[in-house]
């Protein structure tokens, strides 16, 4: 619930100085008004750059892990509210599977996970004979796992500069390249320290040293939501702390000599849904007669019988209990078209099982260790389910002002959005859809 006006007034004063350009910013809830707000010019941002001769363009994109579409409406986020009022806002959706690593690399490449190779947070590659895991530094640095062209390579290949802080894929020399500045994710680094790193890049005196693209990443509110749910006091505190850091960042970035040329994007990789210990189903008893298995108990659950002759039998046994188990199951080659998943046969096991949103389904030989705790939350579910949806805020010279987008688009379109703003060519092999995002921009 929003605070009443007496308590909100100090935040409104902060929001007055927050935004994208030299203007007063009325605090406004995303989605309430699609008209451009009328705001007088007041203070000038930026430094000594000659604005008449400078032609550079800049994009700064922050991913806030698991920032669900409705968090800003539940909690006090005057900075994000202000950005929406002078820029654009859209509810967006993840790619399948709706997990962190697949979606961040989709945001970078413009490709579905099935096409860029990071098919889940963890998987095994049968041609490399290696496992990939979010916790395995050696795997994260192995370029063989990454397909497609990440946006930082697209940018630098066309003569511009990119700085990337903690984004999935930045640890590897994809296609033999890394961005000009590549900083690995470090959980010990605070959000304000990250903001200062980005500010240091954007506020250099020499305009030629300022990157055209900056990508940075917050691991919250995902981490706290997994334990306490999106509606908890703990999540409220994290969301409001993030908004405070963004207020600091947007105030300090005005010192950049190219401030008037920066387009800011604040978005996320997936949503989150609350779990319940009673919404748990163990598939192990259904298929134990078919021998041993390889499996991943993430969302989706993927399974491979060690005896290939048992694939169809295992599938049939699981299919028979779909309604009881609150899941859907497919053979890899029969995945629904809208998921764009199942063709990467060396990384996706032959049986794919997706739990109903809010349910935990697992292959659990202990019959209980995978049961979720009360108020815990998770993701990885059907990306068309609204609990998996998240936010997209954009402001700056390329974006419309005070506009709420009428299309829920997939976050892989970030690749296309960035290349459009910077005036460069997107990677040739991308899955982006221009008609889904063209309405965001000034014509």
Tens of pLDDT, residues 57-81: 999 999 999 999 999 999 999 999 9
Strand-pairing partners, residue 303, are 295, 351
pLDDT of residue 34: 28
Strands (E), 94-201: 122-125, 130-133, 162-165, 181-183
pLDDT of residue 406: 94
pLDDT of residue 54: 58
Scanning the structure block, which residue is given the tokens 């936010």?
391
User: Which among 227, 304, 286, 261 has a CA at the least distance from the CA of 396?
Assistant: 261
> Which positions ≥6 away from 435 have C-beta within 8 Å?
none
Domains and CATH numbers, the chain: 56-273+384-440 (3.40.720.10), 280-372 (3.30.1360.180)
pLDDT of residue 55: 72
pLDDT of residue 30: 30
Instruction: Give the helix ranges, DSSP H, for 58-125.
Output: 71-74, 78-86, 100-109, 113-116
Q: Are strands 58-64 and 262-267 parallel, antiparallel or unpaired?
A: parallel
Sequential pLDDT tens for the chain (443 residues): 444 333 333 343 333 334 454 322 222 223 332 222 222 222 333 344 444 455 789 999 999 999 999 999 999 999 999 999 999 999 999 999 999 999 999 999 999 999 999 999 999 999 999 999 988 999 999 999 999 999 999 999 999 999 999 999 999 999 999 999 999 999 999 999 999 999 999 999 999 999 999 999 999 999 999 999 999 999 999 999 999 999 999 999 999 999 999 999 999 999 999 999 999 999 999 999 999 999 999 999 999 999 999 999 999 999 999 999 999 999 999 999 999 999 999 999 999 999 999 999 999 988 678 899 988 999 999 999 999 999 999 999 999 999 999 999 999 999 999 999 999 999 988 999 999 999 999 98
The whole model's pTM is what? 0.89
pLDDT of residue 411: 98
- φ, ψ of residue 399 in degrees (nearest 5): -95, 150
């Amino acid at each position: 619930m929003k605070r009443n006006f007496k308590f909100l007034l100090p935040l409104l004063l902060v929001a007055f100085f927050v935004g994208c350009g030299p203007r007063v910013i009325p605090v406004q809830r995303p989605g309430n008004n699609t008209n451009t707000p009328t705001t007088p010019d007041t203070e000038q941002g930026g430094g000594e750059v000659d604005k008449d001769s400078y032609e550079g363009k800049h994009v700064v994109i922050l991913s806030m892990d698991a920032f669900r579409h409705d968090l800003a409406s539940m909690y006090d986020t005057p900075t994000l509210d202000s950005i929406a009022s002078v820029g654009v806002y859209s509810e967006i959706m993840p790619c399948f599977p709706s997990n962190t690593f697949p979606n961040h690399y989709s945001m970078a490449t413009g490709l579905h996970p099935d096409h860029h190779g990071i098919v889940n947070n963890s998987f095994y590659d049968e041609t490399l004979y290696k496992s990939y895991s979010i916790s395995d530094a050696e795997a994260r640095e192995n370029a063989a796992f990454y397909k497609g062209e990440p946006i930082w390579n697209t940018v630098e290949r066309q003569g511009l500069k990119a700085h990337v802080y903690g984004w999935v894929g930045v640890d590897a020399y994809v296609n033999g390249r890394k961005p000009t500045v590549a900083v690995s994710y470090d959980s010990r680094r605070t959000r304000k320290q990250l903001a200062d790193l980005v500010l240091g890049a954007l506020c250099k005196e020499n305009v030629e040293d300022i990157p055209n693209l900056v990508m940075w990443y917050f691991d919250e509110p995902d981490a706290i939501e997994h334990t306490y749910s999106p509606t908890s006091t703990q999540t409220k505190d994290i969301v409001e702390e993030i908004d405070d850091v963004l207020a600091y960042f947007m105030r300090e970035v005005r010192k950049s000599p190219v401030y008037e040329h920066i387009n800011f994007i604040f978005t996320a990789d997936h949503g989150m849904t609350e779990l319940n210990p009673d919404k748990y189903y163990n598939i192990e008893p259904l298929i134990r007669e078919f021998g041993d298995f390889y499996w991943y108990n993430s969302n989706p659950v993927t399974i491979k019988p060690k005896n290939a002759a048992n694939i169809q039998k295992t599938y049939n046994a699981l299919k028979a209990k779909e309604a009881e188990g609150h899941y859907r199951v497919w053979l890899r080659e029969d995945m629904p078209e809208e998921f764009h998943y199942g063709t990467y046969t060396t990384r996706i096991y032959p049986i794919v099982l997706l739990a109903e949103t809010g349910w935990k389904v697992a292959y659990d030989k202990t019959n209980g260790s995978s049961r979720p705790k009360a108020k815990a939350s998770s993701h990885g579910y059907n990306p068309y389910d609204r609990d998996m949806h998240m936010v997209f805020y954009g402001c700056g010279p390329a974006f419309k002002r005070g506009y709420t987008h009428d299309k829920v688009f997939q976050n892989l379109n970030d690749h296309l959005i960035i290349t459009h703003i910077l005036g460069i060519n997107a990677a040739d092999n991308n899955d982006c859809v221009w008609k889904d995002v063209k309405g965001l921009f000034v014509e």
